[in-house]
Amino acid sequence: MESNTQNRTIALAALFQCVTGVNQIANTGNVDSDLYKTCLASILKDNPKDAEDLYGSLADLKTGLKTMMYQLGSGQMTPDGKPKELESTRYALGLIHLENKLKNNNAIFEQLINGIKATQEKLEHFDIEHENITASLAELYANTISNIGPKIMIQGDQTHLANPKNAAKIRALLLAGIRAALLWRQAGGNRWKLLIERGKLQRQADAFLLQL
């Protein structure tokens, strides 16, 4: 993976798209179907040509690109006049931290890879949005990433969070977030770059959106 601003922007947009899905489920009990499929597909796709191909296209990351722009901005409101979701940034930073710990844990990483391969085989029988795929990825997250710690505590409506199917979707999206965080690191990203390159990342996201 080439280390450049374009790839870091794609990775960060993907990460924010994953946590946007988490927030949707936690607060409404639902998640945008296209957003969900794009995030899950990134976990299960073999040999992508580049960062963009991992997510299908830039158009498939439109939500993430928009979310990333206003989450990194200095204002307190989104472009449509809503308060910024501060939880999104907290979740994103938490996933970057967990992925950084994962890279030093060979046993968990191997378990994760084997679990992904097993789930890929299930795609021969189930659509990517099928609850069996979600359940498989959720269980994989619980048995691997959750054991690294610290756990990411999700905020939202307890009615939605207590629903087992919603909880499974959230874990699956968090696993997709780990995939995006891995891409971010492979593209040269780290917490320091996130701080000093905020403006550059926003400008690149804006340039990507203008292409759509």
Domains of the chain: 5-211 (1.10.3890.10)
pLDDT at 79: 53
Q: Distance (Å, rounded) from C-alpha 22 to C-alpha 154?
A: 8
**pLDDT for 92 beyond 80:** yes
Residue percentage of the chain with pLDDT more than 90: 82
User: What confidence category does residue 82 fall into, taking pLDDT thresholds of 50, 70 and 90?
Assistant: low
- pTM over the 0.85 mark: yes
Q: Omega into 150 within 30° of 0, i.e. cis?
A: yes
Give residues with Cβ within 8 angstroms of 26, minimum separation 6. Answer: 154, 155, 156, 157, 160, 161, 166, 170
Nearest of 66, 39, 62, 73 to residue 180 by alpha carbon: 39
Q: Distance (Å, rounded) from C-alpha 109 to C-alpha 182?
A: 12
**pLDDT for 169 beyond 90:** yes
pLDDT at 192: 86
At 32-69, the pLDDT tens digits run 999 999 999 999 998 898 999 999 999 999 999 999 98
Q: Distance (Å, rounded) from C-alpha 7 to C-alpha 189?
A: 9
C-alpha distances in Å from residue 187, one per residue of 156, 177, 201: 32, 15, 13
Place of tokens 């830039």: 58
Q: What is the mean pLDDT of residues 182-195?
A: 92
Nearest of 197, 191, 194, 193 to residue 97 by alpha carbon: 191
pLDDT at 76: 59
Q: Distance (Å, rounded) from C-alpha 112 to C-alpha 120?
A: 12
**pLDDT for 75 beyond 70:** no
pLDDT at 28: 97
**pLDDT for 72 beyond 90:** no
